[in-house]
Amino acid sequence: MFDNGNTAAAAAAESSAVSTLKLRFEQVKSLLQKEFGETVYRSWILPIEATGLSNGALELSVPTRFIRDWVKSHYADRIRSIWRQHFGAASRIDIVVAAKKPAAPEGREPVQHTIAPYERPSVANENAAAVENLSSPLDPRYTFQNYITGPSNELACAAAKRVADGEGAPNPLFLQGGVGLGKTHLMHATAQAIRARQPNRKVVYLSAEKFMYQFVRALRTKETMSFKEHFRNVDVLMIDDVQFICGKESTQEEFFHTFNALIDQGKQIVVSADQSPAEMDGIGERLRSRLGMGLVATINPTTYELRLAILQSKCQLLNRALPQDVLEFLASKISASVRELEGALNRLLAHADLAGRIITVESATDLLQDLLRANDRRVTVEDIQRKVAEHYNIRLSDMHSPRRARPVARPRQVAMYLSKQLTEHSLPEIGRKFGGRDHTTIIHGVRKIEELCAADQALKDDIETLKRAICG
């Protein structure tokens, strides 16, 4: 016993280090789950395991290369910063692909990351009902009746209603619009109208992420054929937020074939994205042109009148009332997204309940400070970076990264330019917020955009749109 006491102690220490590591990483995972939601969690976070921590490098393992690439490009930065925040610096995140483990021995929990195939082996008895089960749940409040239209969204709404009616609808219908402007609402409304009026028409509504996840599963289990088969009974396929597939060539390729097959079979397709096909970076030309072949219906930023009408309608739906001047105040101050507008309204109503007092413009100003500030002139560099990254569909982390490829560098320069214009920060301060760049780099970026704007009307318009989105 004494002979190998040291080794035993060492082994015990090591195993306790490993379990501490695992425990800690479970905490990270649950934070990521809260932050990114259930779908992302199950698709990308759950399969990750922490396998080592040495010299500050955190080693993670995932079951496939695909998941590795995805986690690396989408979540690694976040993992690292959460780790840093809670457990000290991690100099690096290394993600390795673990060789497939043999089946778990009896009595032990199966390896968590083995993802069950999306369907049972008995493909034969699949039926239309099973297909509809592919669909994500629909929000019963998202109906056409509850969707208020104005000049900014009436085309999109009319096109969606066409799809719901099933006659002469554009195919594919591509709904394009910024965050919180009602894309998902319109898609749910379309799906629900079909289910209510034409129950025989099978509708599947999925986020692109979920669609892709199922697809990847099918790829891994070599069931792509039956995956496509699965959609055979679908009459209307709706995919929300397709920008999600940008930059994933192999998945896109399969997407493309699936789309083509479905359209060739006369199926209706509706997709949404925060950019038009033409603006989407990182999608293949063929997919781009196929996506744009039907109708690209843009949902533009709301007008004051539409925002006011939406607020009035929401009050009516909730059977509540707020003074007219408060509604007007909200409509004029909170303009970036309808989601935010709704949030503001709900907050005021909740407060009215609690305080048992009528809301005034003064109390609203007080209660909504944070939202108002975000919609105000006092813009932060972070706001700008977020909006610009969203607009150009690059990662927020690209604002800080050293990457100099044009698709990343140009948007970054736009963000520098807007930071100089819209905030009070000095050039060195701005430089620090862009991954510690020198102030001369910021000057260069600002000048570059000024030069380009002089010659490039499209860029100029882009920047105006961004400014409006940022300042509200």
User: In this structure, what DSSP letter does residue 98 have?
Assistant: P
Q: Which residue has the tokens 């996840």?
A: 213
* Residues, the chain: 472
**Which of 331, 327, 375, 371 minimizes the C-alpha distance to 349?**
327
Question: Which of Mg ion, ligand ADP, none does 417 bind, CB closer than 5 to 8 A by kind?
Answer: none
Q: Which residue has the tokens 């002089």?
A: 454
The one-letter amino acid at 124: A
280 in Cβ contact with 243 (< 8 Å)? yes
11, 143, 306, 307, 332 from 303: Cα distances, Å: 66, 21, 5, 6, 9
- Contact status: 275 vs ligand ADP (CB under 6 A): no
154, 235, 435 from 242: Cα distances, Å: 22, 19, 29
14, 131, 166, 172, 262 from 266: Cα distances, Å: 60, 17, 12, 11, 6
Options 43, 184, 192, 413; binder of Mg ion; rule CB under 5 A: 184
**Which of 451, 461, 379 minimizes the C-alpha distance to 422?**
379
Rank residues 43 and 153 by Cβ distance to ligand ADP and give the closer one: 153
Options 83, 147, 174, 231; binder of ligand ADP; rule CB under 6 A: 147
Rank residues 193 and 408 by Cβ distance to Mg ion and give the closer one: 193
Rank residues 33 and 146 by Cβ distance to ligand ADP and give the closer one: 146
Rank residues 25 and 174 by Cβ distance to ligand ADP and give the closer one: 174
Question: Which of Mg ion, ligand ADP, none does 153 bind, CB closer than 5 to 8 A by kind?
Answer: ligand ADP
Quick one: which segment of 285-293, 338-346, 347-355, 415-423 binds ligand ADP (CB under 6 A)? Answer: 338-346
Residue number of the CB atom closest to ligand ADP = 182
Question: Closest approach of Cβ 276 to ligand ADP, in Å?
Answer: 14
Count of helix runs (H) and strand runs (E) in the chain: 20, 8
The sign one gets for the Cα dihedral 205, 301, 287, 210 is negative
Rank residues 181 and 408 by Cβ distance to Mg ion and give the closer one: 181
Question: Which of ligand ADP, Mg ion, none does 182 bind, CB closer than 5 to 8 A by kind?
Answer: ligand ADP
* DSSP helix/strand/coil, 238: strand
Q: Is 207 exposed, middle or buried (0-12, 13-18, 19+ CB in 10 A)?
A: buried
Q: Is 354 exposed, middle or buried (0-12, 13-18, 19+ CB in 10 A)?
A: exposed
Options 68, 78, 185, 267; binder of ligand ADP; rule CB under 6 A: 185
Rounded to whole angstroms, how far apart are CA atoms 126 and 229? 9
Rank residues 29 and 183 by Cβ distance to Mg ion and give the closer one: 183
Question: Closest approach of Cβ 288 to ligand ADP, in Å?
Answer: 21
128, 223, 227 from 25: Cα distances, Å: 41, 32, 34
Quick one: which segment of 122-130, 147-155, 252-260, 316-324 binds ligand ADP (CB under 6 A)? Answer: 147-155
Question: Which of Mg ion, ligand ADP, none does 181 bind, CB closer than 5 to 8 A by kind?
Answer: ligand ADP
DSSP codes, 285-311: HHHHHHHTSSEEEEEPPPPHHHHHHHH
Rank residues 185 and 387 by Cβ distance to ligand ADP and give the closer one: 185
Options 245, 310, 368, 408; binder of ligand ADP; rule CB under 6 A: 310
Options 179, 219, 263, 409; binder of ligand ADP; rule CB under 6 A: 179
Question: Which of ligand ADP, Mg ion, none does 344 bind, CB closer than 5 to 8 A by kind?
Answer: none
Quick one: which segment of 143-151, 227-235, 245-253, 390-398 binds ligand ADP (CB under 6 A)? Answer: 143-151
Question: Closest approach of Cβ 449 to Mg ion, in Å?
Answer: 30
Options 24, 339, 410, 439; binder of ligand ADP; rule CB under 6 A: 339
Residues 129-168, one symbol each (x = binds Mg ion by CB under 5 A, - = not), give ----------------------------------------
Question: Closest approach of Cβ 244 to Mg ion, in Å?
Answer: 11
Examine residue 172 and say whether the peptide bond preceding it is cis (omega within 30 degrees of 0): yes
**Which of 356, 263, 368, 317 minimizes the C-alpha distance to 255?**
263
Give the interface size with ligand ADP as a residue count (CB under 6 A). Answer: 17
Cα of 108 vs its chain's centroid, Å: 36
Rounded to whole angstroms, how far apart are CA atoms 407 and 449? 14
Rank residues 281 and 342 by Cβ distance to ligand ADP and give the closer one: 342
Q: Bridge-partner residues for 177, per DSSP?
A: 299
Question: Closest approach of Cβ 142 to ligand ADP, in Å?
Answer: 6
Question: Which of ligand ADP, Mg ion, none does 147 bind, CB closer than 5 to 8 A by kind?
Answer: ligand ADP
- Contact status: 184 vs ligand ADP (CB under 6 A): yes
Question: Which positions touch ligand ADP (CB under 6 A)?
Answer: 142, 146-148, 153, 177, 179-185, 310, 338-339, 342
Question: Which positions touch Mg ion (CB under 5 A)?
Answer: 183-184
